[in-house]
Amino acid sequence: MGIFDKIKDINEMRKQAKHMEQLLAVETVTGSSSGGKIKITIDGNQSIKSVEVAPEVAGDKSEVARHIRSALEDLFKQHRKMLQSKFGNMLQ
């Protein structure tokens, strides 16, 4: 494989990566804590789109932290599921 073939392959990979980025930009995933007291939404590229905090937990820092942790764990789980459903055949 010559240098020009390698450059061609790199350019093709860049195009594919850009295409995947565009596909993921339109996907959204929401994770929530138990009881839905905190909800975090990201797009498929993991850019945060929104964070919602229920008024009843807003004053208690330890409860907010616990719910944020729970919401993030759920969010990452949902994100992995979305990636698997969208690109499962590419990840194997």
Q: From CA 3, how far away is CA 7, in angstroms rounded? A: 6
Q: DSSP letter for 1, please.
A: -
- CB–CB of 55/66 below 8 Å? no
What are the tokens at 31?
Answer: 């994770």
What is the per-residue pLDDT across 22-58, written as a single tens digit (0 to 9) for each? 988 999 999 999 888 899 999 988 899 999 988 888 7
Class for domain 3-91, per CATH? alpha beta
Q: From CA 91, how far away is CA 87, in angstroms rounded? A: 6
The predicted model scores a pTM of: 0.70
Q: From CA 40, how far away is CA 49, in angstroms rounded? A: 8
